[in-house]
Structure 1
């Protein structure tokens, strides 16, 4: 805890008054050194009875007036400085009030400072934008926590039901029970690992290194080739070297999630997934297109939300846990990139990830 001190308004008031006093003193010094210095201290005249004032006489005549003038400057400086400081600090008072409301949990309050653009207006607008982002993130975290609790509770409830049935019916087929428990437990593990990966990406706790997205795309394509062949989906990979700076495991996970979604949510047969990488001035792009049914822009806008699934596009054997694109969004954001999802007119989805390009190698 800091000790209480003078307010900023009082400090500014004293500064204004002090500056005015110094300016007055300098003005008097100029008058003295550039005018009175040419007046002798005592003037002696040859004419009897004629008195010409000297420097001493002038100082004695003007000294009281100078004192009154300095006193007036002090009072005027304090009074005027107090008013000016109050008007200047009025926006800061509103910003402080908004900060205290935000600290108490009221994130919906905004400063909305009016007037022309200046430093205080810029600060107020930046603070309003920060509050809007925090409010959106808090709301997103609350929805995420509620959805995660629901998703984690589902496999536990199913497991509890299966165990209750087995306990009440000792003659129940244990092989079927074990298979169903194995499937439910696997889903719970996948969900937990996805949540941990999402948390890791949000914390940005990873080592950055040069990563070629074209090689990452080839690696992800080879990993998911058996799944694509099983579903009759063709993977087409093309493009150029696209080197960025980031985490190779996270970017591989990002690409794998995109390819997995593109394969699973595709045509029942003879589907296609196209992966393309490109490098431009200052940034690189990874694009994944797939064939499939037509998607509405309203549905596409919700696909990156955690646990949001297009119910008509789910296949039971690889339904996922509803975090695939949410993880892609989080990894992209952790790499200071941009993610866009666009439904294709002929059906399917185009996902584009734009990241900063790696600086050119020196030497």
Structure 2
């Protein structure tokens, strides 16, 4: 933003210090003047006749001739002292702000790795510097994540497009020996994968931007709707779903919380044992908030792989199935939606195999 030039903060502080010092000096000299006037007569008193050792007492006129020049020189000295001292003091006080400004300009130019790192005891400037360093750290992490996400998204979107082009090139080279039905099925599968990926990216972007209206959402009803929607998939995979819970009212977007629950349930179904698998879905409420808990049977998981499950486009190789490999954004979307609602996400392997994922949100009192 273009602004007209103005006096610096250092100059303003200097003038403020000097002005306050001058006002205090004038008040002090005025008080001294008034005090002296009470004890000095208007006219000088002559000594009594015959008293050779007593001189005439000073008058107010004499006081003016003696006091006013001295007061003027004192005010002038205080003015110079106030300007010089105020300038040096303001510079010292504003030195941390200059470092913060320098760091801000470097950040604006794209250098997010620079930090202010003010030392010394805690005060307003150091609190500001620490907050700015924290903000820079988060910005740097988010920019790095966005760059990594953009690269991964480009790669993932390029894959179905490349497969589509290959299928069409093969069909164009061999127009006589092609099976149109097989080609259409393959193109539909590839296109559906691209659609799923695009929808997942849109949901993820919406959650990251937190551009949604909040309303009261009962997680138990959301869980029931998600189970009804994915029940055919569970039956196809031979997985039984067991639901339980109570009224658990949270504040947030019902569409996003439904997407969160469906992602958890979908992962629990497709990453399960080959036959006889079970998924447990529980909605609960307590004094600390509300939660949705999804657990499933499955293979033993390496605890070192658990933190990677919420990374975008990261898939555990042991959990990938050929029929429902997904787009690698299931738990990443869950984490983003949870963060957007100010909640916490915890993931832990179950004893005997499988996974337990719990999302906790702040409760809303039902009136």
1:201 corresponds in structure 2 to 207
Structure 1 residue 133 displacement after superposition? 0.4
The answer to which of 293-302 and 145-154 deviates more is 293-302
1:164 lines up with 2:169 in the alignment: yes
1:315 lines up with 2:316 in the alignment: no
The answer to which of 282-291 and 103-112 deviates more is 282-291
Q: Say which SS state the counterpart of residue 316 (structure 1) adopts.
A: coil
The answer to which of 95-104 and 168-177 deviates more is 168-177
The answer to which of 102-111 and 1-10 deviates more is 1-10
1:105 corresponds in structure 2 to 110
Q: Say which SS state the counterpart of residue 243 (structure 2) adopts.
A: strand
Q: Say which SS state the counterpart of residue 118 (structure 2) adopts.
A: coil
1:183 corresponds in structure 2 to 189
2:32 corresponds in structure 1 to 31
The 1-side partners of 2:340 and 2:170 are apart by 45
Q: Say which SS state the counterpart of residue 347 (structure 2) adopts.
A: strand
- Paired residue for 2:154, among 132, 145, 149? 149
Structure 1 residue 44 displacement after superposition? 2.9
Which segments of 5 or more consecutive residues in structure 2 lack a partner in the other structure? none
Structure 1 residue 214 displacement after superposition? 0.9
Structure 1 residue 198 displacement after superposition? 1.3
The 2-side partners of 1:117 and 1:342 are apart by 39
2:312 corresponds in structure 1 to 306
1:275 corresponds in structure 2 to 281
Q: Say which SS state the counterpart of residue 79 (structure 1) adopts.
A: helix
Normalised by the length of structure 2, the TM-score is 0.95
Structure 1 residue 292 displacement after superposition? 1.6
The 2-side partners of 1:272 and 1:248 are apart by 26
1:229 corresponds in structure 2 to 235
Q: Map 1:213-252 onto structure 2 (within 5 A).
A: 213-252=219-258
Structure 1 residue 100 displacement after superposition? 0.5
1:52 lines up with 2:57 in the alignment: yes
Q: Say which SS state the counterpart of residue 148 (structure 2) adopts.
A: helix
2:363 corresponds in structure 1 to 357
The 2-side partners of 1:160 and 1:90 are apart by 61
1:81 corresponds in structure 2 to 86
Q: Say which SS state the counterpart of residue 66 (structure 1) adopts.
A: helix
Q: Say which SS state the counterpart of residue 322 (structure 1) adopts.
A: coil
Q: Say which SS state the counterpart of residue 104 (structure 2) adopts.
A: helix
- Paired residue for 2:95, among 72, 90, 99? 90
The 2-side partners of 1:108 and 1:228 are apart by 47
2:135 corresponds in structure 1 to 130
1:263 lines up with 2:269 in the alignment: yes
The 1-side partners of 2:286 and 2:57 are apart by 88
Q: Say which SS state the counterpart of residue 294 (structure 2) adopts.
A: strand
Structure 1 residue 58 displacement after superposition? 1.5
The answer to which of 237-246 and 89-98 deviates more is 237-246
Structure 1 residue 195 displacement after superposition? 1.1
| 1:136-161 residue CA offsets vs partner (Å, 9 max, x unmatched) | 10011111111111111111111111
The 2-side partners of 1:268 and 1:34 are apart by 102
- Paired residue for 2:352, among 329, 334, 346? 346
Structure 1 residue 46 displacement after superposition? 5.8
| 1:185-210 residue CA offsets vs partner (Å, 9 max, x unmatched) | 11111111111111122222222110
RMSD: 1.5
The answer to which of 44-53 and 126-135 deviates more is 44-53
Which segments of 5 or more consecutive residues in structure 1 lack a partner in the other structure? none
The 2-side partners of 1:148 and 1:185 are apart by 16
The 2-side partners of 1:295 and 1:160 are apart by 37
Structure 1 residue 18 displacement after superposition? 1.1
